[in-house]
Copies of this chain bind each other. A is one copy, B any other.
Amino acid sequence: MIAIAAFAMTGVLAVSSKGIDLFTACVMGTITAIGGGTVRDLILGVPVFWAVELNYIWVSLAASLAAFFAKPLLDRKHLFSLMLYLDAFGASLFAIQASNKVWDLQFGLPIAPVILGVLTAIGGGLIRDVLAGHQTLLMNRDLYAIPILLGCTIYVASLALFPEHRSISAIACISCIFGLRATVIHWGLTVPHWLITKPKHD
């Protein structure tokens, strides 16, 4: 729930610099919070999670409203980086939870849990950026998705190898993703140059 709220709030903040109204804020916040999980559930062929447990929607709507009105406050530097850390925590929680759900459904093992874990964590943000006309996180050099990919891969490997220690693995992988993201946020790391294709100059 805290993760959903943090996602919705960072979603609103990400688009608010363009000048948005209250309705758009709620839509963008909610899409950021539940978009990734919705696409995951569609691909899995299970009922979407927010129709089963409506509190997810209420929380994301409330968080979007709060972010809209508290925006001047959240623009301060300290609170904004708190949001970034909350968002990192939310992303890691979401990703591992999703991998877990896909694993339990025995869906496309071993690779689908990893893919859908990453998709759940970044999907909502991707849809938001596309609707807002922003550059998506896939095209910039922020290290956002790679820690999540690593964490989900390790989690799925540990589920396969040590199925009896599931909760320990989950906590370890969530911490691992969060730790990596926190490092990236704290030092402002980006993808090193030598890992990137050279843009064409012509």
- Interface of A toward B, CB cutoff 8 Å: 15-25, 27-28, 38, 42-43, 45, 47-48, 50-52, 54, 57-58, 68, 71, 107-108, 111-112, 115, 126, 130-133, 135-136, 138-139, 141, 145-146, 149, 191, 195-200
24 contacts between A and B (CB under 8 A): A15-B139, A17-B199, A18-B139, A19-B198, A20-B196, A21-B191, A22-B195, A23-B146, A24-B139, A25-B197, A42-B42, A42-B43, A43-B48, A43-B51, A51-B108, A54-B108, A54-B112, A57-B108, A57-B112, A57-B115, A58-B111, A68-B197, A131-B139, A133-B135
Residue of A38, A42, A111, A138 contacting most chain B CB atoms (<10 Å): A138
Contacts of A48 in B (CB 8 A): 43
**Are A19 and B196 in touch, CB under 8 angstroms?**
yes
Chain B, residue nearest A130 (CB): B130
Chain B, residue nearest A138 (CB): B24
**Are A199 and B38 in touch, CB under 8 angstroms?**
no
Contacts of A25 in B (CB 8 A): 197
Q: How many copies does the complex hold?
A: 3
With A42-B42, A51-B107 in contact, is A18–B199 under 8 Å at CB? Answer: yes
